[in-house]
Structure 1
Amino acid sequence: MKKTLLWGALATATAMSPAFAQDVKIVLNEEADVLEPCMATRSNVGRITMQNINETLTYLDIKGGTGLQPKLAESWTQNEDGSWRFVLRQGVTFSDGTTFDAKDVKHSFDRAMDPAITCEVPRYFGGMTVSAEVVDDYTIDFKADPVQPILPLLLTLLTIVPEETPVEFIREPVGTGPFALTEWTPGQQIVLTARDDYWGDKPAVTTATYLFRADPAVRAAMVATGEADIAPSISALDATNAATDFSYLDSETVYMRPDTTIKPFDDVRVRKAVNMAIDREAFLGTLVPEGTLLATAVYPPPTLGWNPDVKVWAYDPDGAKALLEEAKAEGVPVDTPITIVGRTANFPNNVEILEAIQQMLQDVGLTVEVKFYEVAEFEGIYSKPYPEGRGPQLVTAMHDNSKGDPSFSMYFKYASDGRQSGISDPKVDDLINRAQAATGDERAALWKELQAYLHDEVVADVLLFHMVSFSRVAERLDWAPTMATNSMLPLSDIKFK
């Protein structure tokens, strides 16, 4: 009979010698509402679970800059029919003591794609049909229609669970990673403990405790006073200590999504007016730090197919007023109250930023309120099916794409049936489908064309900032943030001085 997760993990913790214990405390900006492995692409879950409890077949090495690397897959090759064959690592066990093999991989993929549990993973596989077929105990094929040249990169998002895992959200995640869950006290803390039977290199960290504080100043102070070791996200105002504070351009893009099926956002003039009413430059060096880039896509500039010819909307309140007056004269209900929707503690100064945007929109004649939601309730607004009876909304969010390809953004953000799309446009759907199946220069050209079309003609959203983030790290640690820190924080990267 299998041991339960917590029993096995606690036994591991008891076996460790206190003399060699290296504990860290990490204070995050928002609590994890779930620890379900297939939700690990969501930042508040991924920073705890991804590559710590649950691992993936492949891994994109952003810290070392070595590109796509093996994890639970030792190698992969593309077959003549365009499918991909993965040879899996042997001698790997899950934290419940069971052995890892190809059946676990197939179950993990099928489970994540099952609509019965509404995982995050399927949104990255939109516009394609993908199936997993077990070849033998340590070989598995993935076949995609249309053929996907970056499928090994897409699989950096598929967290692996045992084949016995039910097709329902679980509270106690089981994985092959170097850590196991040993405590979860909602509202207080989550504790992970290093496994003695991990297949890979033993991490320097033996126990990680996650704490949650919404106020960035409080998070910074906790590291300063020794109550925590890492605050991955603090505000620029609090980043005042050169010995402990790090700034970095992360992969998060802040944007606002109008739903074009709801009046008045079904009229492109209104969407243009909203973009023209916002003085983006005014935020730089004030509510967002120096070095922040103004966005023209929902992914950052290093991404394949970035289009430098797409320009940020110029601040033009008079032009915005003129567009609204023109639309109003033709019967568009521009006086309808609009709600700016935000996620509590999503990023530093988000309250002040959204209130400033509210005022800018009111100044051009729109009626606007701001409402914030905790993460679980926010997800019900952010992802389909959208709430019935909703009024016009500007849903504000941060989107992370550190993978280097627009595929990790475009389908679920902009395709007609994308899970977080506010538009339905046949040309957008066609460009996405062709770009995802293309390679080389053709792929880059199609993404460039789509970026320009979405920004300049469709006006699909209100793009704001590619964020600069700040972290505070205790001096006893040898660790620094990377572009991926907002989405995952592998404990194995942490060393001690």
Structure 2
Amino acid sequence: MTSRMPVSRLALTVAAIAATSITLAGCGGSGQTQSGTGGGAPHRGGVLTVGDESQPLSGLDPILAQAFDAKRFAAQFYEGLLSLGPDGSTLKPALATSWKQTSPTTYEFTLRQGVTFHDGSPLKASDVVFSLKRIVDPAVHSPYGPLYKFKDVTAPSDDKVVVKLVDPQSSLLHLLAQPWSAGIVSERWVRSHSANDLKTQEDGTGPYKLAEFREGSLIKTVRFDGYWDRPKPYINEVDYRVIPDEATRVQALQSGTVDTIQVVLPKNASVLKRRFTVSDGYDVGAYWLGLNTVSGPLANEKVRQAISLGIDRKQLITVGSQGAGVASGIIPPGDPVMAGQAGDLPGTQYDPNQAKQLLAASGAGAVKLKLAIRSNRPDKLATAQLIKEQLSKIGVEVDITQVPFEQLTSNLLSGNWNADMIQLTSALNAAPGQYLSLWFEKGSKTTKVNDPELWKQMSNAVHQTGSDQERRQTYADINRYVAQRVYMLVPYAAPPVYDVWSKKLAGFKTEPSSTRMFLKDAWIG
């Protein structure tokens, strides 16, 4: 992450807390898909109406789409060289039909023939080179730029692209497989449009193309008849209607006004499960409490350790996540790289007596903390109030401030937190290192930690070339390191959202990003 990154850098990382009902607990992170209940064989036709909480804050440019609301559209309009299977981990061909690693730092991709952009122009190797270099261009401010270690990207022939890295990078192929971290764009189209145009227009190679954009109310998409993966997509038209209030979205689904929604509140998931299909949950929503450890009360490590011991995580899981939460570090166990591994982390057991002793030994005196949370979200406030109550029992006073979402993320990105703690909830990231770079990237204004050893571990993890098990262990060790020094408090992780849909939608499958990535495989039953 760079200091010049825009608000979109953070937007995605905020999802709803505790989106699970007790009846659905335990299914998160399974990597399994949930299919629609409609019958019949796949066929073309029909209109699907979606009720969404919001439109993309960052717009439709794929490489700015770290916000959850923006990722959903990047997944329909754009594609990477590769794609991911429903487990969120398996690599599959997409705009590249094959790839090979010719050295520890060199990859060669063979492009698929006959691919066209939505404006009808053919995909060229030069478009891929332009797209990848654009991601790391500092002037573009992509949140994914810091994740790449390109030395050069070239097109030695019309159907070949070669990526050379400065150092080995184990996450490269998975970055190239996600529409938001590696969406391929038309060089000619991007150069002929302003950055503002890219917020409400698109020209990808994906299964659906934009038909209409009404600010704050509707995004209408239609099937791209020139899509390379024929006969997909099957649905003629998908209309995304903005319905900010979840209760209103639920009513719209029940009345048949919309065909599918995403819900956060467990009571809604439980009620809707009686009549509709409710997706599996994935434990990617880590409840983050970012700490300012460079100034103020939390610069004292004993104070941070006391606060960690003063938080009753079991109670927070029971109340805050309605029993569906699981133990988590900054990298949630639902991330495919972690494969459900979180476990007990140091200093996370509830021990109020030891917490009081540490506070007394810290020499800090009376500790008063300001906690900033997103406004207009009762679930966020209820959990923050429970944390406040727990910490009051060890003598720590917490002042909760509700801040509009855009202001909260702006404060974080500028480095002017105006708080000792900021609460955000993670969603699935392009690579495990992105969870860390969000909070701890060296030189970033958002970073409120000064630890060269942590930065070294983060760098080593990105460049690691070992087995999946070794990579998993590396990130598990970083989770422990962060917990040990209490650079962040993570009471639990839970599914951030659940997809819910009617019998009208058939063949639909969900996956860990919850971006409707496989909508192209579904049809109207």
Could you say if the C-alpha distance between residues 362 and 464 of structure 1 is closer, same or farther in structure 2, counting changes exceeding 3 Å? Answer: same
Paired residue secondary structure (2:320): coil
| Equivalent residue letter for 1:313 | T
- For residue 307 of structure 1, report the CA deviation from its aligned partner: 5.8
Could you say if the C-alpha distance between residues 455 and 285 of structure 1 is closer, same or farther in structure 2, counting changes exceeding 3 Å? Answer: closer
Could you say if the C-alpha distance between residues 20 and 54 of structure 1 is closer, same or farther in structure 2, counting changes exceeding 3 Å? Answer: closer
Residues in 2 aligned to 1:412 and 1:360: alpha-carbon distance in whole angstroms: 27
Name the structure 2 match of 1:291. Answer: 324
Q: Deviations over 1:207-254 (max 9, x none)?
A: 112223333322222111111111122421112233414252312222
Name the structure 1 match of 2:80. Answer: 56
Within the candidate set 411, 432, 456, 1:430 is matched to 456
- For residue 432 of structure 1, report the CA deviation from its aligned partner: 1.9
Within the candidate set 43, 63, 66, 1:41 is matched to 66
- For residue 366 of structure 1, report the CA deviation from its aligned partner: 3.2
- For residue 100 of structure 1, report the CA deviation from its aligned partner: 0.9
Paired residue secondary structure (1:265): helix
Paired residue secondary structure (2:319): coil
Alignment of 1:222-371 (within 5 A): 222-239=252-269, 240=271, 241-250=273-282, 251-300=284-333, 303-304=337-338, 306=341, 308=343, 310=345, 313-327=348-362, 329=363, 332=364, 335-342=367-374, 349-371=379-401
What TM-score do you get using the length of structure 1 for normalisation? 0.85
Check whether the contact 1:56–1:72 (CA below 8 A) recurs between aligned residues: yes
What TM-score do you get using the length of structure 2 for normalisation? 0.80
Runs of 4+ in 1 over 6 A off after TM superposition: none
Query: Does residue 1:24 correspond to 2:40, yes or no?
Result: no
Within the candidate set 500, 507, 519, 1:472 is matched to 500
Paired residue secondary structure (2:387): helix
Check whether the contact 1:124–1:409 (CA below 8 A) recurs between aligned residues: no
| Equivalent residue letter for 1:275 | S
Could you say if the C-alpha distance between residues 24 and 412 of structure 1 is closer, same or farther in structure 2, counting changes exceeding 3 Å? Answer: same
Residues in 2 aligned to 1:380 and 1:356: alpha-carbon distance in whole angstroms: 26
Residues in 2 aligned to 1:24 and 1:174: alpha-carbon distance in whole angstroms: 22
Query: Does residue 1:392 correspond to 2:392, yes or no?
Result: no
Name the structure 2 match of 1:13. Answer: none
Q: How many residues align?
A: 465
Residues in 1 aligned to 2:274 and 2:509: alpha-carbon distance in whole angstroms: 14
Q: Which runs of 5+ in 2 are unaligned?
A: 1-42
- For residue 334 of structure 1, report the CA deviation from its aligned partner: 5.2
Q: Deviations over 1:140-178 (max 9, x none)?
A: 111112111331112122111111314835221211111
Deviating more after overlay: 94-103 vs 359-368: 359-368
Q: Which runs of 5+ in 1 are unaligned?
A: 1-18
Query: Does residue 1:409 correspond to 2:429, yes or no?
Result: no
Name the structure 1 match of 2:212. Answer: 183
Could you say if the C-alpha distance between residues 434 and 320 of structure 1 is closer, same or farther in structure 2, counting changes exceeding 3 Å? Answer: same
Q: Deviations over 1:322-341 (max 9, x none)?
A: 333333x3xx4754541323
**Cα RMSD for the two superposed structures:** 2.8
Name the structure 2 match of 1:120. Answer: 143
- For residue 480 of structure 1, report the CA deviation from its aligned partner: 5.2
Name the structure 2 match of 1:154. Answer: 175
Check whether the contact 2:56–2:67 (CA below 8 A) recurs between aligned residues: no
Name the structure 1 match of 2:30. Answer: none
Query: Does residue 1:140 correspond to 2:173, yes or no?
Result: no
Could you say if the C-alpha distance between residues 133 and 259 of structure 1 is closer, same or farther in structure 2, counting changes exceeding 3 Å? Answer: farther
Check whether the contact 2:507–2:521 (CA below 8 A) recurs between aligned residues: yes
Q: Deviations over 1:53-109 (max 9, x none)?
A: 11111111125x781111111111111352111111121111122221111112112
Could you say if the C-alpha distance between residues 481 and 463 of structure 1 is closer, same or farther in structure 2, counting changes exceeding 3 Å? Answer: farther
Residues in 2 aligned to 1:308 and 1:287: alpha-carbon distance in whole angstroms: 19
Paired residue secondary structure (1:248): coil
Could you say if the C-alpha distance between residues 198 and 285 of structure 1 is closer, same or farther in structure 2, counting changes exceeding 3 Å? Answer: same
Query: Does residue 1:494 correspond to 2:518, yes or no?
Result: no
Could you say if the C-alpha distance between residues 20 and 490 of structure 1 is closer, same or farther in structure 2, counting changes exceeding 3 Å? Answer: closer
- For residue 476 of structure 1, report the CA deviation from its aligned partner: 1.5
Residues in 1 aligned to 2:114 and 2:211: alpha-carbon distance in whole angstroms: 24
Residues in 2 aligned to 1:88 and 1:398: alpha-carbon distance in whole angstroms: 37
Check whether the contact 1:415–1:424 (CA below 8 A) recurs between aligned residues: no
- For residue 43 of structure 1, report the CA deviation from its aligned partner: 0.9
Name the structure 1 match of 2:483. Answer: 455
Alignment of 1:58-73 (within 5 A): 58-62=82-86, 67-73=90-96
Identify the structure with bigger relative contact order (alpha carbons < 8 Å, sequence gap 6+). Answer: 2
| Equivalent residue letter for 1:452 | R
Q: Report % sequence identity.
A: 21
Paired residue secondary structure (1:356): helix
